[in-house]
């Protein structure tokens, strides 16, 4: 084998080994030392990141991609499954970014979870999640992807329900599992269709063999899978509920890595979707609806983590819109840049929450830019990157998406909704900054405000560098497959910026109203709609479980006995025969008139029958 290929594939497999080693150590019966979390887990992730930079630099300098098939798992006459890893430009760029973000989050978690007695287990869960995510991202066949897919789902459940003594956390974990399961139905449907019609789960083989087939059904299955995993409208309530978990979990799983798995699946399968207009339109409309709906919900939330969660959901909708525009690479670009600033926003929220003694309500924060200047600066930089401020990370991906949207032959309502959502992004971002960092403090005086800990500062610093330069670095080194439209009227070019500035000015105006004693009464109907998250949890989480559980209980306990004993069994026979018996016995009462009437009737009947 050529030395470059050898170095490429072996460094990536070494990266897996480095990540698996701390996990395997925990399976022995030896007790872990107290700082296993920082000495082993965090170091493993840091080392894996540094190892993964080697293949990244090989890819950037030579354009090298590789498919590594290590071990034949099972071979049948029609289907064979091998352990194969696809290190193409998607996985080669995503893996270092995911490892960089995870390294920062793990370092932050050594401070955040310091008082937790089971911190080692927490880190073990995070590492297991990371390994599952990397398996998902580097999978070359759908079976391996499914292993990673389920792995991240299970780890999400365990991590959201970390504080399992809290009933709300258990409910949230259950919600995550159930909604993901509904999405898994779609993935399994897609896999089954492909196995029966194309006889392969291998990505390259599927693309070639499905050229002339009608792929609508499996694509709908894959879109359903993405809807579940990436919290698109309809299967979205689990994502804000997942904020019950610790902040490092929210930062890693529910902003940067796990929730983009659905979008990543669609990006991987994008050659199948290119020619299917139904699937593309569905992605576009679903993504536009998601981004607008969740941005609307984010406007009136008061929990800082919920605002960031809805922001994540809105950006995921934007990624779905991009896939609907047949621009998977732009969606991937947005995944990469989004990971940096969203993880940073969550870590800033975590720093603020811990500093204010676990206060999460933004109405009880304020003035933190004097008291926690570094955190506030990072919060501001992250929010600016999120809104697409020119030349920060988010700008390169978000502006490219909006430009592609404006210059495509596209559903006008989807375009409108996406632009509205972009302005809403600016509004709720300013709301967070205004309530958290500006103004006067609204919290108790004796709050343990301390950001002066390297375990807090260093991760935030690293992610801030990523939020500022990440977009530029990725954009400079990536080769776009589809030629972007570069000539367009100035209004379209500046549309994203104009809409964001409009949102910002509106939010500033609303914010300054509070200092002018202007009694702003919000319109109650839309305010309730937004605060109650569109009434989706209230309706869906009550009606459907109640119906199914009640019906299940009734059928299992009452209706089976009632049916077999009363409606069809002994009592039914009794109810049927009693009228017959009473009618017969009423006739046989010894009255001569009755008997004579019967004789006459029989005679008439016989005469009529014999006459015909």
Partner 1 sequence: MAGVGFQRWVRTLSKGKISGISGLLPACRSGEILTYFPINIGEIAAAAKKYNIRVEDYKPIADNGEGYGDYPQLPDRSQQDRDPAYQWDHPDLRRNWNEPMHWDFDMFIRNRVDTSPTVVPWSTMCKQLFGFVGFMLFMFYLGDKFPAYQPVGPKQFPYNNLHLERGGSPDVEPEEVKNYEI
Interface ranges with partner 1 (CB under 8 A): 165, 167-168, 170-171, 174, 281, 285, 289, 406-416, 488, 525, 528-529, 531-532, 534-536, 538-539, 541-542, 545-546, 549-550, 553, 557-559, 561-562, 565-566, 571
CB nearer partner 1, residue 555 or residue 601: 555
In the bound complex, what is the minimum distance in angstroms from residue 394's beta carbon to partner 1? 24
User: What is the per-residue DSSP string for 235-247?
Assistant: S-THHHHGGGS-H
E strands, 43-149, in order: 66-75, 80-87
CB nearer partner 1, residue 274 or residue 561: 561
CB nearer partner 1, residue 558 or residue 594: 558
- Supply φ then ψ for residue 526, to 5 degrees: -65, -30
Distance CA(594)–CA(592), nearest Å, equals: 5
Instruction: Decide if 222 contacts 190 (C-beta within 8 A).
Output: yes
Instruction: Report residue 92 as tokens.
Output: 């080669």
Q: How far is CA 539 from the centre of its chain?
A: 21
Question: Could you tell me which residues come within 8 angstroms of residue 235 by beta carbon, excluding any fewer than 6 positions away?
Answer: 179, 182, 183, 227, 228
In the bound complex, what is the minimum distance in angstroms from residue 298's beta carbon to partner 1? 16
Instruction: Decide if 71 contacts 83 (C-beta within 8 A).
Output: yes
CB nearer partner 1, residue 44 or residue 410: 410
In the bound complex, what is the minimum distance in angstroms from residue 575's beta carbon to partner 1? 11
- Supply φ then ψ for residue 127, to 5 degrees: -65, -45
- Cα→Cα distances 157→162, 275, 437, 521, 576, Å: 9, 36, 33, 40, 54
Bridge partners of 86? Answer: 67
Instruction: Decide if 13 contacts 71 (C-beta within 8 A).
Output: no
In the bound complex, what is the minimum distance in angstroms from residue 416's beta carbon to partner 1? 8
CB nearer partner 1, residue 413 or residue 481: 413
In the bound complex, what is the minimum distance in angstroms from residue 279's beta carbon to partner 1? 14
Instruction: Report residue 567 as tokens.
Output: 């409606």
CB nearer partner 1, residue 192 or residue 549: 549
In the bound complex, what is the minimum distance in angstroms from residue 158's beta carbon to partner 1? 16
CB nearer partner 1, residue 56 or residue 572: 572
In the bound complex, what is the minimum distance in angstroms from residue 557's beta carbon to partner 1? 8
Q: Print the SS3 string covering 113-134.
A: CCCCCCHHHHHHHHHHHHHHHH
In the bound complex, what is the minimum distance in angstroms from residue 240's beta carbon to partner 1? 16
CB nearer partner 1, residue 525 or residue 610: 525
Q: Which residue has the tokens 């309706």?
A: 539
């Amino acid at each position: 084998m050529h030395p470059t290929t050898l170095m490429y594939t072996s460094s990536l497999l070494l990266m897996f080994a480095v990540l698996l080693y701390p996990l395997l150590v925990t399976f022995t019966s030896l007790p872990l030392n107290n700082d296993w979390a920082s000495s082993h887990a965090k170091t493993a992730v840091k080392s894996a990141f540094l190892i993964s930079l080697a293949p990244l630099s090989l890819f950037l300098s030579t354009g090298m991609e590789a498919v590594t098939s290590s071990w034949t798992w099972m071979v049948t006459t029609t289907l064979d499954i091998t352990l194969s890893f696809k290190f193409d430009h998607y996985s080669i760029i995503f893996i270092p970014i995911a490892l960089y973000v995870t390294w920062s989050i793990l370092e932050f978690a050594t401070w955040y979870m310091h008082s937790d007695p089971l911190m080692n287990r927490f880190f073990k869960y995070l590492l297991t999640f990371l390994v599952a995510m990397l398996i998902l991202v580097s999978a070359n066949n759908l079976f391996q992807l499914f292993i990673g897919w389920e792995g991240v789902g299970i780890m999400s459940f365990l991590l959201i329900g970390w504080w399992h003594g809290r009933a709300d956390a258990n409910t949230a974990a259950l919600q995550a599992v159930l909604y993901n399961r509904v999405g898994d139905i779609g993935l399994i449907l897609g896999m089954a269709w492909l196995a029966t019609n194309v006889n392969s789960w291998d990505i390259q083989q599927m693309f070639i063999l499905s050229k002339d087939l009608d792929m609508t059904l499996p694509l709908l299955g894959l879109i359903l899978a993405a809807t579940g995993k990436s919290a698109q409208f309809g299967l979205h309530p689990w994502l804000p509920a997942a904020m019950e978990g610790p902040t490092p979990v929210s930062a890693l799983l529910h902003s940067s890595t796990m929730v983009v798995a659905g979008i990543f699946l669609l990006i991987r399968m994008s050659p199948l979707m290119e020619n299917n207009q139904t699937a593309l339109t569905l992605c576009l409309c679903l993504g536009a609806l998601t981004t607008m709906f969740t941005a609307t919900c984010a406007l009136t939330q008061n929990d800082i983590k919920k605002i960031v969660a809805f922001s994540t959901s809105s950006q995921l909708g934007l990624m779905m819109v991009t896939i609907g525009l047949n621009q998977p690479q732009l969606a991937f670009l947005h995944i990469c840049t989004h990971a940096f600033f969203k993880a940073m926003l969550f870590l800033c929220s975590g720093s603020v929450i811990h500093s204010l003694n676990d206060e999460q309500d933004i109405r009880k924060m304020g003035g933190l830019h004097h008291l926690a200047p570094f955190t506030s600066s990072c919060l501001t930089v992250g929010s600016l990157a999120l809104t697409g401020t020119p030349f920060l990370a988010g700008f390169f991906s978000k502006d490219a998406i909006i430009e592609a949207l404006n210059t495509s032959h596209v559903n006008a309502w989807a375009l409108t909704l996406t632009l509205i959502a972009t302005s809403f992004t600016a509004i709720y971002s300013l709301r967070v900054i205004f309530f958290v960092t500006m103004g006067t403090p609204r919290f108790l005086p004796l709050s343990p405000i301390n950001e002066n800990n390297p375990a807090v500062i260093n991760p935030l610093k690293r992610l801030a560098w990523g939020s500022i330069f990440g977009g530029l670095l990725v954009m400079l080194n990536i080769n776009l497959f589809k030629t972007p439209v570069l000539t367009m009227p100035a209004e379209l070019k500046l549309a994203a910026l104009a809409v964001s500035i409009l949102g910002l000015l509106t939010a500033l105006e609303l914010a300054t109203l509070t200092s002018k004693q202007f009694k702003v009464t919000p319109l109650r109907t839309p305010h309730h709609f937004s605060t109650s998250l569109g009434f989706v949890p209230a309706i869906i989480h009550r009606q459907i479980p109640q119906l199914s559980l009640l019906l299940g209980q009734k059928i299992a306990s009452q209706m089976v006995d009632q049916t077999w004993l009363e409606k069809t069994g002994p009592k039914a026979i009794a109810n049927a025969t009693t009228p017959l018996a009473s009618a017969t016995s009423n006739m046989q009462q010894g009255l001569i008139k009755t008997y004579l009437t019967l004789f006459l009737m029989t005679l008439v009947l016989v005469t009529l029958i014999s006459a015909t």
